[in-house]
Structure 1
Amino acid sequence: MISTENNLAKKYRNGNKLLIYAHYYIPDAASTGQILCELAESIKDRFDITIICVVPSYLGIIDNRYKIRRYYEENINGVKILRIRVPEFRKADKKSRIRNIISYFFGAMGATFRVGKMDYIFSISQPPILGGLLGVWGKWVKHAKYIYNIQDFNPEQLISVGYTMNRKLTDIMMWIDKFSCRQSDLVITVGRDLVETMENRFVGKRVPNTLMINNWVDESRIYPLPENHPGVIEFKRKYGLDDKFVIMYSGNIGLYYDLENLIKVIGKFKTGTRAVDRREVLFAFVGAGSMLDRLVLYVNEHHMDNVVFIPYQEKADIIYSLNAGDVHWCVNAKGIKGVSCPSKAYGIMAVGKPMIGCLEAGTEIRCLIENSDCGKCCEPGGYSDVEEIIHWYIDNANTEKVMQMGMNGRKYLEKNLGRNMSIERYAEELLKL
């Protein structure tokens, strides 16, 4: 009986060959890589899946074992991986990052010829513009259905933070990405405001087939832990968070979060400030990114001893780091509405912690925070409001009111944003094409 079921599953998968251009994939810590890993491993019983991605290199460094050949074939939990060697880079160095991305793009184009027949092509909007073009390339080469997953809209994101002011360049980028959208059989975005952006891009005319599916976190692996859990105690001890009221930022310390200005707000809370429960207030930044060096420099220059920087955590340890925070930041820079969706919110909700949401009204995550009553929100750039919210959490630390706010997020996540709900929608939509 088991053998017959396995044969049927194999036959089913063989009729649904799915190629995913992932850029980053596990063990890299990129959020999109983690999401695509969980998606692939959850639907591998219905699809024969191949991933084309870079060798592990999210932080810019490449292990020597991945510096020998151009391509590396692996199999992780039943998912076939074809990795591409790329140059090392530094996140703060534009030229090295561009060189790295271009190498992935052309390497992935070549890798497409190495993976055989495909029925479906799935690409994400990373790297910007080129991710969509890879999907078009895969569609043409494999004569397959193409699904374009837009996690971030570009060039809108680059324009919003002033990464480039070259109008000709951004116009070309817009034309290319709209072309990728039109070539797709389905565009999937991750927020209601992102669906509106798609409609605005095409001014309501010939809008590509578009729908929204929320990102997720695996709520069975990321969940609330008691303060005395050994893993939480060890994390706090290791990074000096013992007996502190911790306000934590966890994730990419990059361009799109206005962290340079938020660190100035944090500077108004002097070392030694204590919460109402007498714990000393500490601000923790967990992660890495292009803005990290600037934040570290600012903190050192202003002798902000109540700020600590903690490196990216292994996937197995994220549950401990998230539970170590009493309150979490969930922020975007002004102008990001309809452009990007900070998926870190799902992990914060999963561990039952309240949020400080610096997010524009009407954005997907702000709507989730307000609908679930799991945090306090203000507009990006409203720095006096940010300061007021921090004061409120300090004045209500460890109270039933704050703890209930955090658990509201967990309950809302379980009811409306479960991992299996989103993944099942992805599988259903692919099979409809």
Structure 2
Amino acid sequence: MPNKKNLLIYAHYYIPDTASTGQILRELAEGMLDKFNITVICVVPSYLGIIEDKYKTQKYYEEEINGVKVLRIQVPEFSKTNKKSRVKNIVSYFFGAMGATFKVGKMDYVLSISQPPILGGLLGVWGKWVKHAKFIYNIQDFNPEQVLAVGYTKSKFITDAMMWFDKFSCKRSDLIITVGRDLVETVEERFKGKKVPKTVMINNWIDEKEIYPLEADNPRVGAFKKQYRLDDKFIIMYSGNIGLYYDLENLLKVIKKFKPGTQAADGREVVFAFVGAGSVLDKLIRHKEKHHMDNVVFIPYQAKEELIYSLNAGDVHWCVNAKGIKGVSCPSKYYGLAACGKPVLGVLESGSEVRCLIEETNGGLCCEPGEYDEVEKNIRWFIDHAGSAEVEQMGHRGHENLIKNLTREESVRKYAEEILEC
């Protein structure tokens, strides 16, 4: 394509990091290379807090990955459970990215995501000013709304300041792209219907050519199960960030009601598998050990190329958010569950994007966050119907809808069109 436009993306995390937003931005960038010359500013690989020695000697690292120019910023290592070290890491990225903006050439468009909270939007405003470019603000999560929902801080001064700065970023944007019907409503509510910035919704996705249903006897799926002693088990799986916004500590208390040795309808023993890492993982492990919950297994993050096997190992998958997250965040993990044709155990607020998708396709069972009796009832339903055609069809319907309406190609095409038109 002659005279391709130049697009700068502030990504915070980018491949090989396993952050879901980093994966989405990688696929977005690579999918739009026919329309744009793309440069990504991000941190050195460090999503789990550890940094390889080869990324500790320079301030910036330049590379090219699959046709995308990547400018990486050195940041300090951190612990996900230590607030101070996390803040230091994030602030280093923010100021490093501001400086890195001067190291890239002319840009026609700047796209920034809402990660890290507040600072992601401000980076987009900075890029717009420095590069005299159009600014597209991709809001994956709304803050301070997310912080307020989980009570991360009680300071009204801090949350009011966060709201002022993020509304500032919204006002300075030429286009807001968000990821759910309920998130579009949040933009409208922020501005009370007056001078609402131009906002469109484009679903997140997973690459359905990389994640898809596999036969139950697939040897790689079998190897994953064997490695973690899940052979011949009925597996109810949570896969993703084991962090603050998912109410996992209370869900573990519900799981405690299902004693080790509980059998599913098809005779398999029931196991609850948590795949991933995050700030509440240690608490969950301590709870499991204290209460001798031998039917709960914790499994490390899986490399992206292994994800197809771990997701296919689950018989039923959790998709959860804490109360108050409707209109604030959209659990992208749903797209991976639908891609591999798995039924969903949803703990999501009515009217939230993913709950709408599950209910529209009858692809699982849902209840409200905090309704722990309903959570228990839905778990029991899946246990009592294990191996049935009814459960299998739930997964099929979710997969069919994804292939028809929620493909990577379709969402990336919409991004390119909207950016070029803004």
Place the TM-score, normalised by the shorter chain, in its bin: over 0.9
Partner of 2:325: helix, strand, or coil? Answer: coil
SS of match in other structure, 2:3: helix
Report the identity percentage: 70
Report Cα offsets for 1:7-51 as digits up to 9, x if no partner. Answer: xx3x332xx000000000000000000000000001112100000
Matched position secondary structure for 1:26: coil
Letter in structure 1 aligned against 2:321: N
Q: How far apart are the structure 2 equivalents of 1:34 and 1:338?
A: 22
Map Cα deviations across residues 303-333 of structure 1 (whole Å, 9 max, x no partner): 1000000111111000000000000000000
Give the TM-score normalised by the residue count of structure 2: 0.99
**What one-letter code is carried by the residue in structure 2 that aligns with 1:346?**
Y
Q: State the distance in 2 between where 1:27 and 1:203 align.
A: 40
2:36 is aligned to 47
CA distance in 2, matches of 1:230, 1:18: 42
Residues 1:93 and 2:79 aligned together: no
2 CA distance for matches of 1:92 and 1:155? 20
Pairing 1:256–2:245 present: yes
Q: Which residue of 1 aligns with 2:358?
A: 369
Candidates 3, 11, 16, aligned match of 1:12: 3
- Asked if 1:391 corresponds to 2:383, the answer is no
SS in 2 for 1:102: helix
Counterparts in 2 of 1:143-182, with a 5 A limit? 143-182=132-171
TM-score, length-scaled by structure 1? 0.97
What CA distance in whole angstroms lies between the structure 1 residues aligned with 2:368 and 2:75?
39
Deviations 1:212-236 (A, max 9, x none): 0000011111100011111101111
Q: Secondary structure at the match of 1:240?
A: coil
Which residue in the other structure is 1:332 paired with?
321
Q: Does 1:432 align with 2:421?
A: yes
Pairing of 1:33-112 with structure 2 (within 5 A):
33-112=22-101
Q: Which whole-Å CA distance do the structure 1 matches of 2:124 and 2:394 have between them?
A: 41
RMSD over equivalenced CA pairs, Å: 0.5
User: Partners in 1 of 2:364 and 2:58 — Cα distance?
Assistant: 48
- For residue 12 of structure 1, give the secondary structure of its aligned residue in structure 2: coil
Match of 1:278 in 2: 267
Q: How does 1:411-422 map to 2 (within 5 A)?
A: 411-422=400-411
Range with greater deviation from structure 2 (409-418 or 126-135):
409-418
Specify the alignment match of 2:222 in structure 1: 233
User: How far 1:419 sits from its partner (Å)?
Assistant: 1.1
Runs of 4+ with >2 A deviation: none
Distance 1:364 1:271 in 2: 34
How far apart, CA to CA, are the structure 2 residues paired with 1:362 and 1:196?
11
Partner of 2:258, secondary structure, is coil
Query: 1:91-133 CA deviation, whole Å, 9 max, x = no partner?
Result: 1111000000000000000000000110000000000000000
* 2:281 alignment partner, one of 265, 288, 292: 292
Gapped regions of structure 1 (runs ≥ 5): 1-8
Contact 1:221 1:319 in 2 (8 A): yes
2:113 to 116, 124, 127: 124
Distance 1:50 1:418 in 2: 24
How far the C-alpha of 1:431 sits from its partner, in A, is 0.9
- Residue of structure 2 equivalent to 1:3: none
Helix, strand or coil: the match of 1:290?
Answer: coil
Aligned residues: 422
Unmatched 5+ stretches in structure 2: none
TM-superposed CA distance for 1:393, in Å, is 0.3
For the residue of structure 2 that corresponds to 1:308, the secondary structure is strand
1:199 equivalenced with 2:181 (yes/no): no
Q: Measure the CA separation in 2 of the matches of 1:375 and 1:395.
A: 14
What is the one-letter code of the residue matched to 1:12?
A: N
Q: 1:426 deviation in Å? A: 0.1
